[in-house]
Copies of this chain bind each other. A is one copy, B any other.
């Protein structure tokens, strides 16, 4: 599969229609195509703003504060677009959770390339807005939720993105480790593990191996996620 073909799902998703092949070619020329193995980090040029398209696999965007403390800012799955800023306050890196296939674009050149296509530009804006809204929800969790609520939020959020519904239950295969979950939720691995144990004994979920989780009571879990209850219109 060549770069242009890899790009097609991206362009289709962005503008909601088959893309003009000329644009696809133009973008393909800008892209750096990379395959990263599990645990590896994407070869990012941190002097410029970038967009990264996750063609296959999944990644974590990791920010480092001083003293080696790490905060995972977001997880991404196939089809997602990640905006990676040039280094400023914190140092960012993009790491693969499993064998992953990426296309890396310099932001300014990508802007220029798609400037003539409002549909694509609007689609990209929409993706960035979604990322912003997710990031805000994460900030609420980090600032104002306790350990149990954070883990519940995480599980409910992952269920929405990569879960498979089976009757009233949802099964999940988490590509990230307990450490990744902890680094995403602003907790330690021990605390995350304790929360999993409590939820297991409460009958809310069952685990099988490291990665496989079955949410037995998704609604209960969601209720404990500390989300505001939506008032009916």
What residues make up the interface of A, taking CB atoms closer than 8 Å to B?
Answer: 47, 49, 61, 63-67, 69-71, 73-74, 83, 85, 87-91, 107, 111, 115-116, 118-119, 121-122, 124-125, 128-129, 131-133, 135-145, 149, 153, 183, 185-186, 225-230, 233
Additional pairs, 18, CB under 8 Å, beyond known A90-B227, A121-B121: A47-B233, A49-B129, A63-B137, A63-B140, A65-B141, A67-B226, A71-B139, A73-B136, A83-B132, A90-B140, A111-B122, A115-B118, A116-B118, A118-B118, A121-B125, A135-B135, A135-B139, A142-B143
Could you tell me the distance in whole angstroms from the C-beta of A20 to the nearest C-beta in chain B? 15
Number of copies of chain A assembled together: 2
Ranked 3 nearest A-B pairs via Cβ: A143-B186, A142-B142, A115-B118
CB-CB < 8 A to A65: which residues of B?
140-141, 144-145, 149, 226-228
Set B47, B66, B121, B226: member contacting A122, Cβ < 8 A: B121
